Amino acid sequence: MRILFKNIKELLQVRDRSVSFVSGKDMAKLPSIKNAYLLVERGLIKDFGAMANCPNIEADQTIDATGKMLLPAWCDSHTHLVYAGNRESEFVDKIKGLSYQEIAEKGGGILNSAKTLQDTSENDLYEQSKIRLEEVIALGTGAVEIKSGYGLTVESELKMLRVIKRLKDNYPIPIKATFLGAHAVPLAYKNNKAGYIKLLVETMLPQIAEMLLADYIDVFCETGYFSAEDTERILEAGKQYGLMPKIHVNQFTSIGGVQAGVKHHALSVDHLEEMRDADIEALKSTHTMPVALPGCSYFLNIPYTPARKMIDAGLPLALATDYNPGSSPSGNMNFVVSTACIKMKLTPEEAINAATINGAYAMGLENEVGSITIGKQANLILTKPINSYNFIPYAFGTDHIEKVFVNGAEI
């Protein structure tokens, strides 16, 4: 099956294979070809270039993209989209003045979602989650990471990870699974955090590893949840099973999570709303991708990640949704890209780089997706006719997507 896109107004994010992510000043450059063609063969990007060089080939399908942009589908490297029920009652509590932490102290928050998930059958959990996965694919997401962490018992963490596995098996976009057993200390271990960490390390991890249910390991390193010391202990255990870290750090407080992540060669450190200069310093010249989650800052009314300062210091940055029922009930990467421009002062080029190539790197998919590169999967967004790509973040409430393609097939 060969699909030829012709007369593309602008083909965005064209890259050589050697580029696995972009940092600092390079984030401001978004390589593109105006008046371009792109050829897809057997689901992969086979060829592309200027229309003047478009080969005269017989394609099974030809798509005229006059006036439209073609770009890699969004790479959402941080979600919790497998969950049960919702937390809209807490939303109302929040409107009335309670903070995220106060809601959690009242028995809401992660433990509330954990209770609902424990009472939900595996099949029902799959059915609820697949609706969200289909929703984000239609919104232009072409690769996604999904975490466990609303189980908090051996049985329910395994249930969540099996649901993620089933989504991986049944959907065409790349999905990475992250084990987040250390998302909160469950009620049964309220006064025995060490006991829960022992359960996680000695019982959960070996089973998850044996069944190959996780690609990465995560910890919510935060005051009132897991300390930097707890985080290190859990990451060390994960390493025994070959699980690289991708961790939640600096959402509300800076307690050494960034440093713990860097020390354990984390693939990414995520949230980063509270960044000290030492945290920025610690990330320099590492292979750890900082990931900002502006949907969470928006929803919880907490500070945005100081992305401008970080990029100006030479760091790379990825953007993700954090899609979850408590702090970011949206998996819309278009909104994330706009919000990064509007609230974090990223330029459209920086935001698009952060949401494509850098997001792919933050989930170990830099060889598969995230750029227009020969041999990568043809997971693409075709926009409606627009004047320039600046319009994508600018008109923040508009649906700019005409079609989404996964492995070259229209969704």
User: Residues interacting with ligand NIG, by CB under 6 A?
Assistant: 109-110, 113, 220, 248, 251, 296, 322, 324-327
DSSP 360-399: HHTTT-TTTSSSB-TTSB--EEEEPS-S-TTHHHHSTTS-
CB of 80 to ligand NIG, least distance (A): 6
Closest CA to 372 of 62, 78, 142: 142
- Closest residue to Fe ion using C-beta atoms: 322
Cβ atoms within 10 Å of 42's Cβ, excluding its own = 10
Binding site partner of 327, from Fe ion, ligand NIG, none, Cβ cut-off 5-8 A by kind:
ligand NIG
Window of 87-95, 136-144, 181-189, 320-328 that interacts with Fe ion by CB under 5 A = 320-328
Question: Crossing angle of helices 154-170/122-138, nearest 10°?
Answer: 40
Q: 326 vs 408, which CB is nearer to ligand NIG?
A: 326
CB of 250 to Fe ion, least distance (A): 12
Q: 220 vs 389, which CB is nearer to ligand NIG?
A: 220
Residue with tokens 């750090």: 249
How far is the C-alpha of 142 from the C-alpha of 119, rounded, in Å? 31
Tokens, residue 173: 């976009």
Q: 113 vs 379, which CB is nearer to ligand NIG?
A: 113
Q: 96 vs 285, which CB is nearer to ligand NIG?
A: 96
Tokens, residue 370: 């995230």
How far is the C-alpha of 166 from the C-alpha of 126, rounded, in Å? 8
CB of 251 to ligand NIG, least distance (A): 5
How far is the C-alpha of 163 from the C-alpha of 385, rounded, in Å? 38
CB of 297 to Fe ion, least distance (A): 12
- Tell me, what DSSP letter sits at residue 166? H
* Cα torsion 76, 77, 83, 85: sign: negative
Q: 297 vs 377, which CB is nearer to ligand NIG?
A: 297
Window of 112-120, 236-244, 279-287, 319-327 that interacts with Fe ion by CB under 5 A = 319-327
Binding of Fe ion at residue 322 (CB under 5 A)? yes
Name residue 247's beta-bridge partners.
269
CB of 97 to ligand NIG, least distance (A): 18
Q: Give every CB contact of residue 325 below 8 A, 6+ residues apart in sequence.
A: 80, 83, 85, 86, 87, 113
Tell me phi and psi for residue 9, to 5 degrees: -55, -45
Q: 326 vs 331, which CB is nearer to ligand NIG?
A: 326
Binding site partner of 257, from Fe ion, ligand NIG, none, Cβ cut-off 5-8 A by kind:
none
CB of 371 to ligand NIG, least distance (A): 26
DSSP 180-216: EEETS--GGGTT-HHHHHHHIIIIIHHHHHHTT--SE
CB of 262 to Fe ion, least distance (A): 19
Q: 76 vs 322, which CB is nearer to Fe ion?
A: 322
Q: 21 vs 220, which CB is nearer to ligand NIG?
A: 220
CB of 327 to ligand NIG, least distance (A): 3
Binding site partner of 141, from Fe ion, ligand NIG, none, Cβ cut-off 5-8 A by kind:
none
Query: Which residues of the shown chain bind Fe ion in the complex (CB under 5 A)?
Result: 322
